Amino acid sequence: MRRNAGLFSPLNGQSRSRFSRFSWAVLATFTVSLLSSPAAIAASAPAPPSKPIPATYFGLHAQRVVTRQGPAAPFPTVPFGSFRLWSIPDWSQINGRPGQQYNWTALDRFLDLTEKHGVEVMFTVGHTPRWASSDPYDMDCAPSLRPGGCDPPKDLKPDGSGPNNYFRDFIRELARHAKGRVEDWEMWNEPGGRRQWTGSTKQLVRMTKDMNSIVKEVDPSALIVSPAYTGVGRDITSRLHDFFRAGGGDAIDVVAFHGYIYQRPPVPEGIVETVSAIREVMERDGQSNKPLWDTEGSWGRNPDYPDDNLQVAFVARMYLLQWSLGVERWWTWAGYPSGTLWDMDAGRLTKAGVAYKQLYEWMVGATQTEACREKSSVWTCGYTRSGGYQAQAVWDAAIDIRQTKSYTAPPQFTRYRDLEGNVSEMAKNRSVPIGQKPILLETGSPGR
C-alpha cells in the first residue's frame, strides 16, 4: 500500500496531448499555482452510472483502527458499505508456517465485526510467507513485506508454469473458511512496484486464474478483482495492458486501480486523467464491460498536507468526481498516517471524517443525472431522488481554500448544505458562497 504520494503535475506537456485523445475526459481547469496561466481542457464527459449510488461506493481501510484496544479505537463510526482487508491479516500472517497450518484469529476478528455491521468485505491477497518465497532473504521488499514477501512463490516459474501449490492450498483453505463472509477477492496490492512484487506478469496471471477457479468453486457469487496498479498515466496503463494481454482479463470480474494523485499538493481533479487512461486501455483490450474500482486512495501523508480544510475538499471532490467517471467504488483511509478520517489521539472524527459522513448522506440512494462538469473553474454535479427531489454539488477548484465567492444558484433550489451538516435557506437573490469545499444545493429535504 502506498502511504506517501509523490510529485506529479497532471498537466505537463505529455499529459495535455494525451488528454485530448481521451473520449472519457471531462472539462478540467486547475489552479494558477499549477499552471503558468489558467487553462481549460475541453472534452465531452461520459454519462454517469444510471443506477442509484450504493452504500458500497463508500469503502474504508480500517484495520489498524479495529486492532487497537480501548475506547479510542472503535469500529468506524461513519456509515460505509465496503471494507478492504489488506496487510492485517495477509497471506504470511495467516499461513506463516510451512504446510497447511493456518491462524484465523485476526481474520475472524475482522469478519465478526464486518458481519455485525453489515458491510461487504474485500480480501486483498499478498505478502508471500517467507517459507514459500522464491527469495526468502529479499530485504528490498517494502518494510512490511520483508523478507521475501514481495517475491513469487518458489513453486511457480516465471513463465507461469509449475504446480503453484503453496498459493493454491492457501486460497482453497481461505475460501472455505471465509465462505459467505468475503465477497470480493483482490489479486495483490500494487504489483507494479519493485518493492511490492518482483515476479513476472505471467506469474501474476497464473495466480489470478488459480484464485478464480478455486474461489468460485467454493462460492460462485464471489467477485475476482484484478491486481491494483498505481502510478501516473503509463505507469498504470502499460502494466494493466500487459496483464490483459497475458490473459488476466479472462480471470477477473472487476478492474482495480489505486487512484493516488501524484502531485503536491494533490488536486482531486487530477483523477480525471488517470481514469481516462485506464478506460482507454480497458476499451482497447476488450474489458470495457467490467466495473472499475479504486481500491485505495487518499491525499497522502498528513504532515505533507496538514490543512484540514484542504483534506475536507479533497475527499469530497474525489468522491463526487469518481462516481461521475464511472468508478463504482472507492476505498479511503481511517486511522492511518495518511488520509485520516479518525483522530486516534483525540478519539473523534477529523474534519475530513465529518465530511465523509455528509457525503454518504448526499450521495447514497441518489441517482446522478448530470455528470460533473466544469466552467471557469466552477464544477457542478447533478442528482435526483424519488418524489421530485433535485440536488447539485458545486465548488470552485481554483479559489484559495480560505476564500469563497458568490455563485448564483439555479432557480429550482431552495436551500443548501455544507460538509459540516449545516443547512441554510436560499437568499432572495439566489446567491450562495462557494469555495474549494463543495456545497449541495437542494430543492428540499431528500425525504429518505
End-to-end CA distance of the chain: 37
What local confidence, expressed as pLDDT, does residue 14 receive?
31
Q: Which of 225, 139, 134, 122 is nearest to 182 (CA)?
A: 122
| Model confidence pLDDT, tens digit, residues 260-273 | 998 888 999 999 99
For residues 420 and 439, give the distance between their C-alpha atoms in angstroms, rounded to a whole number: 10
For residues 55 and 359, give the distance between their C-alpha atoms in angstroms, rounded to a whole number: 11
What local confidence, expressed as pLDDT, does residue 340 receive?
86
The residue ranges of every structural domain in the chain are 48-366, 371-442
Question: CA-CA distances (angstroms) from residue 277 to 27, 84, 200, 259, 371?
Answer: 15, 25, 23, 12, 18
Question: CA-CA distances (angstroms) from residue 373 to 115, 365, 369, 377?
Answer: 38, 21, 12, 10
Mean pLDDT of 42-68: 77
How sure is the predictor about 448, in pLDDT bands with cuts at 50, 70 and 90? low
3-state SS, residue 344:
coil
CATH top class, domain 48-366: alpha beta
Q: Helix axis angle, 165-177 relative to 201-218, nearest 10°?
A: 30
- pTM as predicted: 0.89
Average pLDDT, the chain: 87
Decide which of 344 and 360 is more confident: 360
Mean pLDDT of 74-79: 87
Question: CA-CA distances (angstroms) from residue 88 to 84, 114, 144?
Answer: 10, 14, 10
| Model confidence pLDDT, tens digit, residues 292-304 | 999 999 998 888 8
String of DSSP letters for 115-169: HHHT-EEEEEE----GGGBS-TT---S-GGGTTTTTSPBTTS-TTS-S--HHHHH
Decide which of 334 and 57 is more confident: 57
Neighbour count for residue 242 (Cβ, 10 Å)? 18
Decide which of 17 and 61 is more confident: 61
What local confidence, expressed as pLDDT, does residue 51 receive?
95
Neighbour count for residue 424 (Cβ, 10 Å)? 12
- Write phi, then psi, for 275 (nearest 5 degrees): -65, -40
Q: Which CATH architecture has domain 371-442?
A: Sandwich (2.60)
What local confidence, expressed as pLDDT, does residue 223 receive?
98
Peptide bond into 291 cis (omega under 30): no
Angle, CA 233 vertex, CA 283 and CA 353 arms, to 5°: 100
For residues 20 and 24, give the distance between their C-alpha atoms in angstroms, rounded to a whole number: 10
Contact between 206 and 167 (Cβ < 8 Å): no
**pLDDT over 90 for what percent of the chain?**
74
What DSSP character marks residue 441? E
Kindly tell me if the per-residue pLDDT of 363 is higher than 80: yes
Kindly tell me if the per-residue pLDDT of 177 is higher than 50: yes
Kindly tell me if the per-residue pLDDT of 412 is higher than 80: yes
Kindly tell me if the per-residue pLDDT of 290 is higher than 90: yes
3-state SS, residue 285:
coil
- Write phi, then psi, for 295 (nearest 5 degrees): -95, 5
Mean pLDDT of 81-87: 94
Question: CA-CA distances (angstroms) from residue 380 to 34, 218, 236, 295, 420?
Answer: 21, 45, 28, 25, 19
Decide which of 4 and 72 is more confident: 72
What DSSP character marks residue 290? S
Neighbour count for residue 371 (Cβ, 10 Å)? 20
Contact between 367 and 383 (Cβ < 8 Å): yes
How sure is the predictor about 22, in pLDDT bands with cuts at 50, 70 and 90? very low
| Model confidence pLDDT, tens digit, residues 198-250 | 999 999 999 999 999 999 999 999 999 999 999 877 788 999 999 999 999 99
What local confidence, expressed as pLDDT, does residue 29 receive?
32
Kindly tell me if the per-residue pLDDT of 21 is higher than 60: no
| Model confidence pLDDT, tens digit, residues 137-169 | 999 999 989 999 999 999 999 999 999 999 999
Q: Where are the beta strands (DSSP E) in 402-446?
A: 405-408, 415-417, 423-425, 431-434, 439-442
Contact between 37 and 59 (Cβ < 8 Å): no
For residues 192 and 200, give the distance between their C-alpha atoms in angstroms, rounded to a whole number: 10
What local confidence, expressed as pLDDT, does residue 164 receive?
98
Decide which of 106 and 33 is more confident: 106
**pLDDT over 70 for what percent of the chain?**
87
Range with the lowest mean pLDDT among 98-107, 117-126, 313-322? 98-107
What local confidence, expressed as pLDDT, does residue 262 receive?
86
Neighbour count for residue 290 (Cβ, 10 Å)? 15
Decide which of 429 and 37 is more confident: 429
